[in-house]
Amino acid sequence: MFEWLREILASLHEHLIPFVVIYEYENGGVFRLGQYHRTLGPGFHWRWPLVEAVFTEHMVVTTLALEPQTITTKDDRTVVVGGIVRYRICDVKDFLCEVSNQHDALRDTAMGAVLKQVRQLELRTLLDDPPENKIASDIRRLVKPFGISIDSFTFTDAAPIRTIRLITHTYAPPPEHHYE
């Protein structure tokens, strides 16, 4: 009967506690009445209940596996490439406030950097001397404003493929109807 009251109290419980503990591998961003107020490092911290909300983020190295993507090289060869980005959050404020859906932004930025570099190379050059450092540098420059630091980029796969177009679609406008 009073299930709704119990749910409300359970959700408020977190907001009523006047302190927060940040673990060694985290940093916390404190929002006071909706505005970013300060960054918390590891340890015990007081906070104003109902006025301040704390969001924690892991600051340790993390990896992101990129889905394989099919790209045409400079010499018009088709290749499928995949990779891994090693990164860490370096600024919790920028990470929380400067970009929405941070992990999608990192993935999309990384895949764009891979596409840009692979398109500039011939297949043999790509396979013999993959541009991993250039890709890491491109990603690093683009995601720095998001509070993300890139440690490295590594290709996990780079293989030429043959493509066969099975379905072709040509557009034909619908026939005109004449009414009398």
Q: What is the pLDDT of residues 9-46, one digit of tens each?
A: 777 777 788 999 999 999 999 999 999 999 999 999 99
pLDDT band at 167 (very low <50, low <70, confident <90, very high): low
| 14 vs 151 pLDDT, higher one | 151
Between CA 15 and CA 19 the distance in angstroms is: 10
In this prediction, residue 175 carries a pLDDT of 63
Between CA 21 and CA 29 the distance in angstroms is: 12
The owner of tokens 């941070």 is: 102
**Which amino acid makes up residue 110?**
A
Domain extents for the chain? 3-57, 62-160
Phi and psi of 42, rounded to 5°? -60, 145
Between CA 101 and CA 86 the distance in angstroms is: 18
The owner of tokens 């990896």 is: 63
Question: Which CATH code for domain 62-160?
Answer: 3.30.479.30
Residue 179 pLDDT > 90: no
In this prediction, residue 93 carries a pLDDT of 97
The percentage of the chain sitting over the pLDDT mark of 70, rounded to a whole number, equals 90
User: How much is the pTM?
Assistant: 0.80
